[in-house]
């Protein structure tokens, strides 16, 4: 057995396609109407009301028991684009205790989405701000050897 993909059950496939292609810049690999596979392997599925999943799961449960997590090298650009589109944020750009900057927001079906700076970006930002490799390792929890390897020369 191998892992295939993550599927998000959505209420409106068209608004979800627009959200993930327009704001997160994914392309559509396959579009089967109510089931879409995006270029990153994420699948969106608008389930018909009489489908077994709808019949067996509690519908209307809006709790966020998980989040989708992505990394980027251009957090500000993405954040600005989401803000200008009126996307609902859990929080805007925030520095986590380990030094990585993140944003968290909701997709059209209230799934929690996080975008963080990639490891090389946040390690180098800390280095540019004067932290030594040892200080970066202590703060981030990243092994010293990995920190040294990530710092741009």
Domains of the chain: 1-48 (3.10.180.10)
Q: Is 45 helix (H, G, I), strand (E, B) or coil?
A: strand
Residue 148, pLDDT score: 97
How many Å apart are CA 35 and CA 37, to the nearest integer?
Answer: 7
How many Å apart are CA 153 and CA 151, to the nearest integer?
Answer: 6
Q: Which of 54, 40, 65, 68 is nearest to 9 (CA)?
A: 54
Residue 152, pLDDT score: 87
Q: Quick one: tokens of 94?
A: 């925030």
Q: pTM surpassing 0.85?
A: no
The per-residue pLDDT for range 20-45, each reduced to its tens digit, is 999 999 999 999 999 999 998 899 99
Q: Is 109 helix (H, G, I), strand (E, B) or coil?
A: coil
Q: Quick one: tokens of 77?
A: 């650009």
Q: Taking residues 75-88, what's their average pLDDT? A: 96
> Has residue 147 got a pLDDT over 90?
yes
Q: Which of 146, 97, 93 is nearest to 120 (CA)?
A: 146
> Has residue 4 got a pLDDT over 80?
no
Residue 9, pLDDT score: 87
Q: Are 37 and 27 in contact (CB under 8 A)?
A: no
Q: Taking residues 86-94, what's their average pLDDT? A: 95
Q: Are 54 and 48 in contact (CB under 8 A)?
A: yes
């Amino acid at each position: 057995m191998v892992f295939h993909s993550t599927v998000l059950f959505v209420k409106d496939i068209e608004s979800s396609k627009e959200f993930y292609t327009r704001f997160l810049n994914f392309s559509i690999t396959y579009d089967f109407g109510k089931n879409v596979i995006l270029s990153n392997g994420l699948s969106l599925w608008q389930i018909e009301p009489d489908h077994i999943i709808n019949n067996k799961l509690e519908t209307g449960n809006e709790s966020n028991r998980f989040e989708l997590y992505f990394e980027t090298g251009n957090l500000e650009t993405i954040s600005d684009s989401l803000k200008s589109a009126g996307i609902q944020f859990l929080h805007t750009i925030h520095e986590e205790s380990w030094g990585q900057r993140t944003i968290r927001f909701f997709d059209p079906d209230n799934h929690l989405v996080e975008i963080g700076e990639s490891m090389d970006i946040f390690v180098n930002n800390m280095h540019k701000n004067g932290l030594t490799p040892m200080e970066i390792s202590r703060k981030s929890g990243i092994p010293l050897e990995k920190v040294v390897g990530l710092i741009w020369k």
